[in-house]
Each structure stands twice: as C-alpha cells, then as structure tokens.
C-alpha cells in the first residue's frame, strides 16, 4: 500500500510541476487598412483602399486616437477627405470600429500623383500560465 501511495503522490507532484511551468501562447494581430479618406462624419470614417473596389466604412468612439506618422496626437479636425491614413480597427459584429487613425503627410510627385508608404505588422505575445 505504501508504495502505491508514494507513486500516486509522486505522480501528482510531477503533474503539478508540468502545469506550473506551462506557457500559454496568444497571438494578437493588429488589423489595419491603408487608404485615402473619402468621407469623415460625426460617427464614421470611410476610406478607399487599393485592395477593395468599394470604400470601407469604420465607426469610431471617444477612445479612438488620432496621431501623425511619428505617433504625436493630432486633432480629429486634421482628418479630411483626400488624406492618406492607416486605420487600426477591431471587428464588433458587422461593424469595423477604428481604434487608432494615423494621418499621413502626402508627398506629391511632379506629375501630381501622391506617394504613400505602406506597412503591415503582426505582433505575437507569449504569456506564462498563471501559477495555481
């Protein structure tokens, strides 16, 4: 009996040690759209991207932030039709909700066309499992 109890206790200690050192991986993907502002209203922004034939509409909230390319806060009044932007957003049911809007400076070519810089990033984070 004593041997069985010792083996059972050893097994429980081994299992607890494995759980304590386990890690949980979570991938967070920032979803962005790069395009040009087509319409900006009191509760929505519509942008035209190069990847979608139709403009994409986003709602925004009081917590939506507006920044320039260097991350400096800008006034919401800065957002105007024709400006290039990057919109970071979350999906809430059927709605796309803008969380951050980066307003870009436009650079004009001699022929009058504009130049936009595009960047896509994915962030992966690993969080340790909580200790029981």
| Tens place of pLDDT per residue across the chain (132 aa) | 456 555 555 555 555 544 444 454 444 456 888 999 999 998 899 999 988 899 999 999 999 999 999 999 999 988 999 999 999 999 988 999 999 999 998 655 555 544 444 444 445 555 666 666
pTM exceeds cut of 0.75: no
Contact 83, 77 (CB under 8 A): no
Cβ-based neighbours of 125, under 8 Å, separated by 6 or more? 26, 27, 28
Q: Domain coordinates of the chain in residue numbers?
A: 30-125
Give the pairing type, strands 56-67 and 95-103.
parallel
| CATH pick for 30-125 out of 3.40.50.620, 3.40.50.300, 3.40.50.280, 2.40.50.320 | 2.40.50.320
Spatial distance between the Cα atoms of 24 and 105, rounded to a whole number of angstroms = 40
pLDDT of residue 31: 85
Contact 100, 64 (CB under 8 A): yes
């Amino acid at each position: 009996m004593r041997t069985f109890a010792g083996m059972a206790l050893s097994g429980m200690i081994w299992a607890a040690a494995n759980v304590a050192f386990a890690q949980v991986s979570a991938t967070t993907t920032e979803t962005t759209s790069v395009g040009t502002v087509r319409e900006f209203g009191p509760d929505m922004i519509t942008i035209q991207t190069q990847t979608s034939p139709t403009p994409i509409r986003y709602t925004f909230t009081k917590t939506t932030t507006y920044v320039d390319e260097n991350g400096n806060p800008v006034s919401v009044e800065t957002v105007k039709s024709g400006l290039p932007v990057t919109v970071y957003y979350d999906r809430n049911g059927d709605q796309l909700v803008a969380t951050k809007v980066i307003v870009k400076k436009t650079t004009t070519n001699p022929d009058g066309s504009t130049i936009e810089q595009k960047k896509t990033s994915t962030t992966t984070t690993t969080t340790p499992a909580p200790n029981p």
